[in-house]
Amino acid sequence: MARRWSIAVLVVLAVSLAINFFLGGFVVRGGGRMDDGRFARAAAIAGLGRAPAALRHRVEATLAKHHDDIHKAIEAVRVARRNVRDSMRAEPFDRAKLDGAFAALRTQVDKMQEVIHAAVGDAIAASPGAERAQIKPPRRGD
């Protein structure tokens, strides 16, 4: 029985590692093409889970109103990604420069999330309590 559990744990860890590598590659490659904020809006809407249609539309409209701020934040993330890529390719390689580029990327991603979260928060704050109470988790977990 203990052997089955250890095999199951190893399988779960392997799958988790594969997913993390995929997502890491997706991020480094610049996946999701955040050209005009559509990806960011879609991700924010998906984060709502199964929310009432009126609430989802309100969030979408609020995100659209913040389009310029979201676009600027996305562009800052793009620049930070380019700096990471340039640091990785530089000759001679400078680990401290790469670490700094990664730190700057994390900062820009955090700022982008702040902009998006603030817009979503504005939409949620403008929503009636009865609507907010109807927000349910996605069908496959939290």
Per-residue pLDDT at 14 exceeds 50: no
| Ranges of each domain in the chain | 1-31, 33-133
Per-residue pLDDT at 6 exceeds 60: no
Query: What are the tens digits of pLDDT across the range 43-99?
Result: 776 777 778 889 989 999 999 999 999 999 999 999 999 999 999 999 999 999 999
Higher pLDDT, 16 or 106: 106
Q: Alpha carbon 90 to chain centroid distance?
A: 28
Q: Which of 4-8, 9-13, 48-52, 60-64 has the weakest average pLDDT? A: 9-13
Amino acid at 29: R
Identify the pLDDT of residue 41: 67
The encoded tokens of residue 62 equal 């609020």
How far is 104 from 75, CA to CA, in rounded Å? Answer: 13
Identify the pLDDT of residue 12: 46
Q: How confident is the model at residue 1 (pLDDT cuts 50, 70, 90)?
A: low
Nearest to 41 by CA among 24, 65, 19: 65
Where do we find the tokens 């530089």?
Answer: 90
